[in-house]
A = this chain, B = another copy of it.
Amino acid sequence: MVLEFAVSPKTKPPAKMSTPSPFLYSILILIVSFLCQASAIQLNGARYLGNFWSSSRTLSLLAKSRAPKYQYETKYFQQKLDHFSFAALPSFSQRYLINTQHWEGPSRSGPIFLYCGNEGDIEWFAANTGFVWEIAPRFGAMVIFPEHRYYGESMPYGSKEEAYKNATTLSYLTAEQALADYAVLITELKRNLSAQACPVVLFGGSYGGMLAAWMRLKYPHISIGALASSAPVLQFEDLVPPETFYSIVSNGFRRESMSCFNTIKESWDVINKVGQTNSGLAQLTKTFHICRELESVDSLSNWLESAYSYLAMVNYPYPTDFLMPLPGSPIKEVCRKIDSLPDGASVLQRIFEGISVYYNYTGKVDCFDLNDDPHGMSGWDWQACTEMIMPMASNRTTSMFPEFYYDPKSNEEQCLKNFHVKPRPTWITTEFGGHEFKSALKAFGSNIIFSNGLLDPWSGGSVLEDVSETIVALTTKKGAHHLDLRAATAEDPDWLLDQRSSEIKLIRGWLDEHYDEKKAISAYR
């Protein structure tokens, strides 16, 4: 569960609600950037920030992001704050990373590979999207990673502090504005480089994948195709059942071990029961190695729920260090821990052992700080309270999580309270298509790959079947959250090599078709 990162605290069942980010990891990134920018926050080994990020961990990740794996120049482009009005607003400086080293250039119509930056620092995405960097040379492609407005360094009003000040300054943090940023940037960049004839291929993961697919829908003249990886474009309104996300998370655990699934499912009642008294809370604090005394069971439950969800997202087949340093197939490891304690072990002890795989795989953390930053305004919190209204629920039958249903009214109240803004729950479906999304794409679209790993809980809100001959779904049974976009490793399983190979072939096909058409046109002339 992600409620710490989203705006609204959950209300109790049956009125429990949630508005999680589909992009949990990037919220983490956001926390990283908060850390980086919020100089008021002291950093030292003993202090923890956020729910489950020790500051030392955070700093080590930060250090990594500061030493980019890939070569690029960092540039800036002046953007209008509101593309769709002529209000006298200050422009802002959009950061983008660019590499033209392997580009075949305008004379040979060399392609442009553009990653649609999502809700985080663009250097972080660049570092974690090795696929684009690795395949660019074989296509003779330029690589660009523009940053999403209101994230990283691309701050309107001069600073994050000013940009995030209130609902007025935040009001231009919308997906449509971000799409227009990309359209304007590409158009101007091509003009400056005399590269108007160079075809653009879009890439994106998670929310970035949604942006890539939506770019294809809204700006078909800007690109020739898009790889939208783990893009839950259907996770809106009633397009998919609200239970989908947590059911997939739960299945990930049930698949490994029924007893593991049951232990987690039972644990919520145990935690609630124990936590009803002060001495019980003290006991929970001790059992779970929480640094500060627990004031309610909710914060503990949320912390646990978040970990299970993240585990399902990053349930990669080999060891990774993306959200956290983790073993390969981390859910298997969590369940092994939960199940392998001796018969007499308590439910709480099992849960602690399991969760430690996620929060403390290196064994270096002494205690955990569950405090999130309830008044910090991360960008996605705003987006989740305005446009990105993704209904979520958990039911008794398919979920190992506590039961709750989606309550739009309570969501609205929380958003009004926290941001003084009213959500528009039907706007995304109006703007980008709701129940007609697929049929509109079919009749009015081409060249999109929706790639998904079925272990990823966000896959349930994405496109899992071919829409047309050129709008195809690539799903992998054992894949997780946009695994295909990560850099190749020696441990990549065959099915992952196959998936990436299919993607390369499809992109090659788009480009070949594009060049053939251009040739046909110039021959005709």
Chain A interface residues (CB < 8 Å from chain B): 82-88, 167-168, 170-172, 174, 176-177, 180, 183-184, 187, 196, 216-222, 224, 386, 420-421, 426-427, 429-437, 439-441, 443-447, 517
CB-CB under 8 A from A170, the residues of chain B are 86
Q: How far is A187 from B168 in the complex, measured between Cα atoms in Å?
A: 27
Given contacts A221-B440, A443-B446, 6 further A-B contacts (CB under 8 A): A82-B85, A83-B176, A217-B220, A220-B444, A222-B436, A444-B445
Q: How far is the CB of A285 from chain B (nearest CB, A)?
A: 39
Q: How far is A517 from B440 in the complex, measured between Cα atoms in Å?
A: 12
> In the bound complex, do residue A433 and residue B86 qualify as a contact, i.e. CB atoms below 8 Å apart?
no
Q: How far is the CB of A239 from chain B (nearest CB, A)?
A: 12
CB-CB under 8 A from A219, the residues of chain B are 431
Residue from the set A167, A220, A517 with the largest chain B CB neighbour count within 10 Å: A220
> In the bound complex, do residue A434 and residue B221 qualify as a contact, i.e. CB atoms below 8 Å apart?
yes
Q: How far is the CB of A151 from chain B (nearest CB, A)?
A: 17
Q: How far is the CB of A238 from chain B (nearest CB, A)?
A: 12
CB-CB under 8 A from A85, the residues of chain B are 82, 84-85, 171-172, 174, 177
Q: How far is A434 from B183 in the complex, measured between Cα atoms in Å?
A: 12
CB-CB under 8 A from A436, the residues of chain B are 221-222
Q: How far is A217 from B216 in the complex, measured between Cα atoms in Å?
A: 11
Q: How far is A170 from B88 in the complex, measured between Cα atoms in Å?
A: 11
Each complex incorporates copies of this chain amounting to 2
- The 27 listed contacts between A and B (C-beta, < 8 Å) are A82-B82, A82-B84, A83-B84, A83-B176, A84-B176, A85-B171, A85-B174, A85-B177, A86-B174, A87-B168, A87-B172, A88-B168, A180-B431, A183-B430, A187-B426, A196-B435, A216-B444, A218-B218, A220-B433, A220-B440, A221-B432, A221-B434, A221-B436, A221-B439, A221-B440, A222-B436, A444-B446
Q: How far is A177 from B84 in the complex, measured between Cα atoms in Å?
A: 7
CB-CB under 8 A from A184, the residues of chain B are 430
CB-CB under 8 A from A177, the residues of chain B are 84-85
> In the bound complex, do residue B386 and residue A517 qualify as a contact, i.e. CB atoms below 8 Å apart?
no
Q: How far is A172 from B172 in the complex, measured between Cα atoms in Å?
A: 14
**A85-B172, A174-B86 known; A437 and B187 CB under 8 Å?**
no
Q: How far is A221 from B434 in the complex, measured between Cα atoms in Å?
A: 8
The 8 A-B pairs at the shortest CB distance, nearest first, are namely A220-B444, A221-B440, A221-B433, A221-B436, A87-B171, A84-B84, A86-B171, A220-B440
